[in-house]
Structure 1
Amino acid sequence: MRVEIMMYPGVSEIDAVMALHVFKVAARKGAEVESALVVSSEGEVIESVDGVRFAGLPMWRPTETDVLLVCGGWTHEVIAEGTVPRQIARARRSAGTGLIVGGVCAGAVVLGAAGLLKGRPATTHHPAFAELSEYTDVIDARIVDDGDIVTSGGGPLAAFDLSLYLLERELGEPRLAAAIEQFMEYDRRGTVWR
């Protein structure tokens, strides 16, 4: 399984790195998982929410990827500027429904702005429920699984929950997910709404 975590100006680096960590640990434990933080424009330098700069990241390959995760961050600015939602919409059209798109925390709002959530259930960070409701029906759950769109809410730790859930769902590896939980000394929280 190839997982790409989209980095964009204003992304929450904690969301992205937490998700990446889960997939990297899974690979070290023998799972067939390849994961990377990626950018949509070659040579792009990303300054995240807390001022951490990321450079030298590989270009995304949405048509060759199984899972694309979009994390939260300064979503108001990202949506107002418009480039990131347009890029996500184009990537989705190119890759089709074979690509699983995940929204981590307020990343679901960016997916909504990209037009991916129309008529579909989703969740996000509680403070962003009103924003997400402009695009879709909001479900108050930790994870909302709607097949090829999976969203998680509840702050940065939702990155752990969504990543563990996707490992379990996509690889059929509940024991691996449980072993990673134990390794990280983290217990998944909340409910999954399907």
Structure 2
Amino acid sequence: MRIDVLVFDGFAEVDVIATYAVFANARGRGMPVEPRLVTADGAREVIGCYGTKYGDLSLWDPASARVLAVSGGWIKEEIERGVIPRQLAEAKALGGDHLVLAGIDSGSLLLGAAGLINGRPATTHRMDYGWLAEWAEVIDARIVDDGDLVTCGSGWLAGIDLAYWLLEPELGMTEQIVALEQWTGRDRQGTVWTRRSDG
């Protein structure tokens, strides 16, 4: 399963690194996961919100990815610039129903600005609920799963919980995911709101 994690100048480093680390560790444990840090415009390096430079990045390929995880960060500038929202909309059109969009904390706002939420249930950082309400039915939950749109919020480490949540149903490897959770030393937190049904 290919998982692309989107980065851009000013991205929230904790959002990305914590989420990516879960996926990368799952791969290291032999799970069929291929995580990549990607950019929308083909940039090979970007600078995170705390000034750290990240290199050796790949251009995303939404046609072959199962998940595109979008981080938060200095997103007001990106929304005003409009480039990433436009590229997100194009990526979803290319990936179709197969592509799961995952908003990590304020990354949900980029999905909203891209026209990819449109009244659907979603969450983000609590300080941004009013902003998210422009596009979404705001749900006060740690994770909101609406099928091909999964969002998380309420803190720096919410992306870890999002990663666990995305892996378990996709891979059907509950015992391995629990072992990964135990190894990281972080139990899942908060409420999950979902439309998914086991029936």
- One-letter code of the match for 1:76? K
- One-letter code of the match for 2:81? E
Aligned residue number for residue 152 of structure 1: 152
Aligned residue number for residue 61 of structure 1: 61
CA distance in 2, matches of 1:68, 1:49: 20
Percent identity among equivalent residues?
43
* Corresponding residue pairs, total: 194
Secondary structure, counterpart of 2:160 in structure 1 = helix
Contact 1:104 1:152 in 2 (8 A): yes
- Shift, 1:95, TM fit: 1.0
- Shift, 1:101, TM fit: 0.5
Secondary structure, counterpart of 2:117 in structure 1 = coil
CA distance in 1, matches of 2:43, 2:150: 29
Contact 2:44 2:58 in 1 (8 A): no
Aligned residue number for residue 124 of structure 1: 124
Give the direction of change, closer, same or farther, for the CA distance of 1:43–1:124 in structure 2 (3 Å limit).
Answer: closer
Aligned residue number for residue 197 of structure 2: none
Residue 77 of structure 1 pairs with residue 54 of structure 2: no
- Shift, 1:83, TM fit: 0.6
Residue 17 of structure 1 pairs with residue 44 of structure 2: no
Alignment of 1:169-184 (within 5 A): 169-184=169-184
Residue 40 of structure 1 pairs with residue 44 of structure 2: no
CA distance in 2, matches of 1:169, 1:143: 14
- One-letter code of the match for 2:5? I
Report runs of 4+ in structure 1 exceeding 3 Å deviation: none
- Shift, 1:9, TM fit: 1.4
- One-letter code of the match for 2:96? G
Secondary structure, counterpart of 1:116 in structure 2 = coil
- One-letter code of the match for 1:54? Y
Contact 1:43 1:56 in 2 (8 A): no
Alignment of 1:89-168 (within 5 A): 89-168=89-168
- Shift, 1:178, TM fit: 1.0
**RMSD in angstroms over aligned alpha carbons?**
1.0
Show structure 1 runs of 5+ residues with no match.
none
CA distance in 2, matches of 1:127, 1:135: 15
- Shift, 1:56, TM fit: 2.3
Secondary structure, counterpart of 1:3 in structure 2 = strand
Show structure 2 runs of 5+ residues with no match.
195-199
Contact 1:27 1:34 in 2 (8 A): yes
Secondary structure, counterpart of 1:64 in structure 2 = coil
Residue 87 of structure 1 pairs with residue 80 of structure 2: no
1:43-62 deviation per Cα after TM superposition (whole angstroms, max 9, x unaligned): 34311111111222111111
CA distance in 1, matches of 2:174, 2:154: 22
Aligned residue number for residue 190 of structure 1: 190
Of residues 43-52 and 101-110 in structure 1, the stretch that sits farther from structure 2 once superposed is 43-52
CA distance in 2, matches of 1:43, 1:10: 13
CA distance in 2, matches of 1:158, 1:132: 17
CA distance in 1, matches of 2:134, 2:158: 22
Of residues 2-11 and 173-182 in structure 1, the stretch that sits farther from structure 2 once superposed is 173-182
